[in-house]
Amino acid sequence: MTTNDTDSGWLGRLAEAARTIRARNGRAALATAAEALQLAWATECAVQAGSADRELWWLRLAEAIAETADELELVPGAPVVPLGVGAAPNAVLPDSPAVRQALVGLLAAVRDALTGYSRQAYSGREKLAATLVAAAAARAVSAGGP
């Protein structure tokens, strides 16, 4: 398998995860968001940045992903998000616009699903936690912006 095959296979996996999370609502959205955050973390860990500035961009994104995972775990009934566990790319990924775009697309799907869930949450604590995790997901998308 060449690096390009690895890239396209992994980017396809991110795109499929984004489509899946957009099709979920309620508690199912929480579980799918947790899985998507694991994929986002694995992607960030696999990217080899070519410069210090690019490395800082990825580090800021990693911090935003971790914050979103931490906030998600505060929502009552939400799954634990064990970052660094699960699927990972088979090879180093390049710091390319395609990788960044696929990852930001996945994080935007997470944000949208969590925002939708926060609008459905009824109890005070759950509503607050859901709102906080949606805001964290929005910050992750912003961190991934240009």
Please write the tens of the pLDDT for every residue from 77-122: 899 999 999 899 999 999 999 999 999 999 999 999 999 988 886 7
CA–CA separation, 70 vs 55, rounded Å? 22
In the predicted structure, residue 5 carries a pLDDT above the cut 70: no
| CA-based end-to-end distance of the chain | 31
- Count the domains in the chain: 1
- pTM as predicted: 0.88
Q: What is the model's pLDDT at position 7?
A: 63
pLDDT digits (tens, 9 = 90+) for 22-35: 999 888 999 999 99
- Angle of the 97-120 helix axis to the 52-72 helix axis, nearest 10: 20
In the predicted structure, residue 59 carries a pLDDT above the cut 60: yes
Its domain, for residue 136, covers 3-143
Determine the average pLDDT of the residues in 2-12.
Answer: 67
SS3 string, the chain, reads CCHHHHHHHHHHHHHHHHHHHHCCCCHHHHHHHHHHHHHHHHHHHHEECCCHHHHHHHHHHHHHHHHHHHHHCCCCCCCCCCCCCCCCCCCCEECCHHHHHHHHHHHHHHHHHHHHHHHHCCCHHHHHHHHHHHHHHHHHHHHCCC
- Angle of the 27-46 helix axis to the 52-72 helix axis, nearest 10: 160
